């Protein structure tokens, strides 16, 4: 019986892991072109093949990597690259805060692994409200399969090398937009969330038109404040 | 120099992801803060998407015309996501549309 119980638990873990991998799959597919771009662009910016792959293996942050590579190519100094990285990565502070009640009680090993894997994509599939208990194996399945996808795509980009230069003019950024729309729209179940999304949208566009570096964060925070205040004023149920 | 950049970036990115997952960090998030944070996913994801969809280089910024294939495809994706609530179907169908008209 004891053996059976263990087998069941392991089976549950595998099931949760696969469920997570499946949930993130559309996002993994959408990120492949970006991984390819990150690989070939890294070579283009003067990194060696090993350095190019190491960036995806160690940093594992798509938008920060691509922006930093552009800056390395332009000969910008380390301090500026770090400040820009800080601006781009600051949204992860919000993600970790939102996941704090779920992940911080877990063991150190889980916290480190899930923290390392906490991308936009993992957050999008793993953050399902505070009532829902996060299964670490589900998050691991999502995070790890996405990590593998990103790194395999980077390797493909390095392998293809300079043969793909015009990749960003193909409109691959739409893949990201499509997946995020597919995730956000069904999550709009209350008027306050709709308001939050609309305010973020308008703010992000305005900030981008004024080329503000912190535009993403400003837009997101403004949207979050709008949603919170609206819910409070109207007494909306959470 | 490249390795230093990679390692420094990695440290910064990991720190931003891990900081609030650390139980020893002395912050207790109030109910109000948690409610506020529950809006983070739609807010951040929308803020990433909006400039991609609405701002195009060719038209000196904001492009609200039907010639903007990003906007048209995103509108279709929104309708599909709303009616089907299927992530994979929405993604694939709108991408096929996008690459057809782009």
Domain ranges of chain A: 11-186, 188-238
Cβ-based contacts of A197 with chain B (< 8 Å)? 42-43, 46
Closest CA in chain A for residue B90: A182
The answer to whether residue B59 neighbours chain A at the CB level (below 8 Å) is no
Cβ-based contacts of A65 with chain B (< 8 Å)? 9
Closest CA in chain B for residue A85: B9
Question: What is the mean predicted confidence (pLDDT) over A89-93?
Answer: 91
Contact present, B17 and A118 (Cβ < 8 Å): yes
Instruction: Tell me which residue in A59, A103, A178 faces B95 most closely, judged by beta carbons.
Output: A178
pLDDT at A226 exceeding the cut of 90: yes
Task: Output the pTM of the full model.
Answer: 0.83
A-B interface: how many C-beta pairs under 8 angstroms? 273
Spell A54-85 as b/e; 16+ CB within 10 A means b.
Answer: bbbbbbbbbbbbbbbbebbeeeeeeeebbebb
Instruction: ipTM value, please give it.
Output: 0.89
Low-confidence stretches of chain B (pLDDT < 50) are none
How far is CA A5 from each of CA A8, A11, A106, B50, B59, rounded to the nearest angstrom? 5, 10, 22, 49, 63
pLDDT of res. A230? 97
pLDDT at A59 exceeding the cut of 90: yes
First to last CA, chain B: 40
Cβ neighbours around A193 below 10 Å, total: 22
pLDDT tens per residue across span A61-84: 988 998 899 889 888 889 989 988
pLDDT tens per residue across span A159-214: 987 666 565 567 777 888 898 899 899 989 999 999 999 999 999 999 999 988 78
């Amino acid at each position: 019986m004891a053996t059976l119980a263990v087998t069941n638990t392991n089976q549950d873990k595998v099931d949760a892991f696969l469920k997570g991998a499946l949930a993130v799959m559309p996002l993994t597919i959408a990120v492949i072109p970006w991984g390819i771009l990150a690989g070939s662009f890294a070579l283009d910016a003067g990194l060696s093949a090993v350095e190019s792959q190491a960036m995806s293996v160690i940093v594992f942050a798509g938008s920060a990597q691509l922006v930093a590579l552009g800056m390395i190519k332009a000969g910008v100094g380390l301090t500026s690259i770090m400040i820009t990285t800080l601006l781009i990565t600051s949204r992860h502070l919000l993600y970790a805060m939102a996941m704090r009640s779920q992940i911080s009680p877990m063991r150190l090993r889980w916290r480190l692994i899930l923290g390392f894997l906490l991308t936009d994509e993992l957050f999008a599939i793993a953050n399902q409200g505070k009532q829902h208990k996060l299964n670490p194996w589900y998050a691991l399945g999502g995070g790890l399969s996405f990590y593998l996808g990103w790194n395999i795509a980077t390797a493909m980009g390095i392998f293809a090398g300079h043969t793909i230069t015009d990749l960003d003019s193909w409109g691959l950024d739409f893949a990201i937009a499509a997946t995020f729309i597919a995730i956000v729209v069904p999550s709009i179940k209350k008027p306050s969330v709709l308001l939050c999304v609309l305010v973020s949208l308008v703010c992000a566009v305005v900030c981008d038109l004024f080329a503000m570096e912190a535009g993403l964060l400003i837009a997101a925070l403004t949207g979050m404040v709008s949603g919170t205040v609206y819910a409070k004023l109207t007494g909306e149920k959470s | 120099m490249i390795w230093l950049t990679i390692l420094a970036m990695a440290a910064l990115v990991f720190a931003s992801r891990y900081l609030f997952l650390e139980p020893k960090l002395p912050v207790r998030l109030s109910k109000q803060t948690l409610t506020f944070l529950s809006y983070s996913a739609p807010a951040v994801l929308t803020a990433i998407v909006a400039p991609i969809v609405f701002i195009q280089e060719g038209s000196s910024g904001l492009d609200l015309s039907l010639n903007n294939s990003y906007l048209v495809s995103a509108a279709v994706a929104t309708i599909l996501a709303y009616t089907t609530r299927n992530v994979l179907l929405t993604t694939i169908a709108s991408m096929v549309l996008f690459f057809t008209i782009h």
